[in-house]
Structure formats: C-alpha cells, structure tokens
Amino acid sequence: MRIAINGMGRIGRLLFRRLIAHENIEVVAVNDTMPIDNLAYLLKYDSIYGTFEKEICIENDCIKVYNKKIAVFQSADPLQLPWKKLNIDVVLECTGSFTSGAGATKHVEAGAKKVLLSTTGAEDIPLLIYGFNQTRLTPETNIISPGGCMTNCCIHVLYILNSISIKSAHINILHSYTSRQELVDAPNKNFRRGRAAAESIIPVEIDLQKSLERLMPGMQNKIAASSIRVPVANGAMAIFTIQLNDEVSAVHINTIFQKAAGNSYTNILDYTEEPLVSLDIKGNTNSCIIDGTQTSVMGNHIKVVAWFDNEYGFTGRMIDWLELLNKTN
C-alpha cells in the first residue's frame, strides 16, 4: 500500500515514525507548509517519544531515512498535490483542515484512491471506529473518519457497560495540553485556550457527546461530556460517572472489562490493577486501559476510569485501518 501524509503535526509525524519501516505500507510522500529542514528536525527529535533511532537527512526535495526517499511537498491546496502521478492508495489527512466531505474529496480529485482522516469528520463522512463498527466499511467508502482519541477510548467503555443498561453517563476527560492552546498567556477567541497551558488546569469545550450519539443512537440524550486540560505534555484519563438501571458490584464491573480485554477487545482495550500514573501509559497502543483500582460503586451509580495515550493509542488505530484497507483492496 502506497500512502501519503498531509499535515505533519503531532499525529502526522508520529504516523511517519511508526510507518516508515512498516512491512506492507510504504510512505511515499508527505505534505506540509513548514520548511523541509524544520520538518526533518522535528521528525528526528521529539520531546515526548525521544530521538528517532535512524538517521534522517534531506536530499534535494526529499527526506531520506532507512535508505528510502520520501517526497516532500509544501502545498496548502490538496488539489495541487501529485497523488495520481505517485499512485497513492491512501492519504492520511492530518491537517485538521479538510474534514468535510468536500474538503477531503480534494485528495480523491487529486488522484488518491482513499482518504483516512485523523479526527472526527463532518456528518457527511462515515464515522467508523476500529474495534467497534469497522465491519460497516464498504468498497465504495472513499473517505473514512476514524474518530479521535477520546471517541476511540469512550465508545468501547460505553458499549460494554450498556450491556447492563445505562440510564445516563457523564464523561470527564483529563487531557494533556495540545497545540491549540497557548504556551504563555495570549489573545485567543476562546479565552481559556489563550491561557498558559503548562501553568493551569483549563476547562475546554468538546463535541465528544455528538460523536458518541452518532455511534450509539440509543444513547441519545443520555450522555454528557466535558474535558479539562492539565499541565502534562502527553497522556489522558477518562472518568465515567454512570447511572445504571440496576445495582451492581465493583467486582462485577471489573470482571466484565477483564474478560473483554482478554477476548474480543485484545489490542483495543486493556485492563490493569497496577498503581499507574499518566506517564506510565506513554507509548501504550490500546485505545483505553481500564484502571480497576479506581472502579467504585454506590448502588446503581458507578465510576470507571480509563487511561489512554492520546497520540500513540490513536495512531495505533489509524495503522489498524491502513492494514485493514490493505487486506480488503
């Protein structure tokens, strides 16, 4: 499979690192408006995941790594990219700017066969979560939204718990700061996002509820979601406060997740009773890791906690999608 990455931010660069030596997937080209020397530097040195193990150098308009040359383009318009000439099978759309059907279709018009977003796209793009509803993929589906890191964490927890019938669910995500926040206090149309990200606990609005209701229509008007950015550079914790129809024990809840982790959810959901902190899940490839030590119950009210690496876990699911597309095409 021949792929291109459009947008070399946090997700695009991590995908590059993880895919560059993949056995069945070839990174042919990347596109980003940043200077090529800055791109090579950011691929080599990463403050979260460390220095890349192999030499990365620039050769003409290419980045060379593992003796492979990857073409680098700097176009802001996907229609100007040579995807047809390069015979691109899948474009990983990682800019966050082309998430509507019309926007993502520009890559198809430029010659790519399929487009895989790195976020939850507009409602005119199928929302397909690997490990949940990927079987709904059809040969005619050219643009795929794999959700985001929060959706990939939460949907599995809600689906599993709904087997014992959820009356209502509130989800609060404690999330590391992101590039859409400021390093020091600065003007921002969202005043809170303009405050220094590494200095404060900052509430941030999210649309997670809409994504989850799209995936589980029976949960309409039963879900609320909020997010708080905390002063760490990586890692997240989802806290589920759920009211069930019937009373249940913490042991029963944990047993359900233990069984899921060992069976159909292997490599998607994990379970632990280790005394973890957020740093311990850096580089974890699961979409969510249930922390059994934090499960608590009061009658039919339960609290469940799940950890996730908001970058590594999510890119793991995007790679799963690529491998699935490679098998089905």
| Mean pLDDT of each 10-residue bin along the chain, 329 residues long | 97 97 95 97 97 94 94 96 97 95 96 96 94 93 96 97 95 96 95 96 95 96 97 97 95 96 92 97 97 97 98 97 91
Other Cβ atoms less than 10 A from the Cβ of 217: the count is 7
Residues 170, 171, 177, CA angle at the centre, nearest 5°? 150
Determine the pLDDT at residue 166: 96
DSSP string, 154-184: HHHHHHHHGGG-EEEEEEEEEEE--TTSBSS
| Residue 5 identity (one-letter amino acid) | I
Q: What are the percentages of helix, strand and coil residues in the chain, rounded to 5?
A: 30, 30, 40
Between CA 2 and CA 27 the distance in angstroms is: 6
Determine the pLDDT at residue 81: 97
Using CA atoms, how far residue 203 sits from 86, 179, 184, 210, 236, in Å, is 44, 15, 16, 18, 14
Kindly list the domain boundaries of the chain, sorted by start residue: 2-118, 149-310
Determine the pLDDT at residue 308: 98
At the topology level of CATH, where does 2-118 sit? Rossmann fold (3.40.50)
HSE of 168, CA atoms in CB hemisphere, 13 A: 5
Q: Both tokens of residue 208?
A: 């997670």
Query: Residue 279: is it exposed, middle or buried by C-beta count within 10 angstroms (0-12/13-18/19+)?
Result: exposed
- Cα(first)–Cα(last) distance of the chain, in Å? 9
Radius of gyration of the chain from Cα atoms? 20
Catalytic residue ranges: 149
Q: Both tokens of residue 309?
A: 């690496």
Q: Count, in order, helices (H) and strands (E) of the chain.
A: 7, 18
* Superfamily in which the 149-310 domain is placed by CATH: Dihydrodipicolinate Reductase; domain 2 (3.30.360.10)
Closest CA to 310 of 119, 176, 155: 176
Determine the pLDDT at residue 329: 73
